[in-house]
Amino acid sequence: MTHRITKDHAKGIVRVAKDDLVLHHDLWAASRDLAAELKGDVAPKVLLDLRTATIKVADWEKKAFAEAHRKIIGRRTKIAALVSTEGPQYREFLHFEILFANLGMRVRIFDDERKAERWLQQPVR
């Protein structure tokens, strides 16, 4: 199954959901589609729902993906990822959070949707 992108206009949040296997090409496909959805938005808020996703991406591919997005993701963009904290997949998603954060991007993982939405609604400083 591919990813699904929807917009919650009331909250100003773009939601991306993926609930199966995530491979390298899935990352780039979702990124391309999300960029098209966010075109013209100066301070986008993105909520990735990956709670039932399984990621199979090599560490070097994760790093290359994060580095490629350093110039694409604006300083006012915030991305919250909903993930399950149970099992080995949590470490995979945590690695993404660390890679993006180390490159200066506002990306955080959460296991609670309300907390993720609250964080997205906080102003960027």
Residue-wise pLDDT for 40-83, tens only, equals 776 788 898 999 888 888 888 888 888 888 777 777 788 899 99
- What single-letter amino acid sits at 85? T
Q: Identify whether the C-beta of residue 34 lies closer than 8 Å to the C-beta of residue 67.
A: no
Give how many domains the chain has, as a whole number: 1
The whole model's pTM is what? 0.85
Give the tens place of pLDDT for each residue, 91-105. 888 988 998 888 888
Q: How many residues does the chain have?
A: 125
Give the tens place of pLDDT for each residue, 2-29. 788 888 888 888 888 888 888 888 888 8
The CA R_g of the chain, rounded to the nearest whole Å, is: 13
Residue 58 is part of which domain span? 4-121
Sequence-distant (6+) residues with CB within 8 A of 17 are 3, 4, 6, 48, 49
CATH classification of the domain holding 94 = 3.30.750.24
- b vs e for 19-57, b when ≥16 Cβ sit within 10 Å of the residue's Cβ? eeebeeebbeebbeebeeebeeeeebbbbbbbbebebeb
The total of other beta-carbon atoms located within 10 Å of residue 124's CB is 11
Instruction: Give residue for tokens 């098209």.
Output: 36
User: Torsion over CA of 11, 69, 40 and 119, rounded to 10 degrees?
Assistant: 20
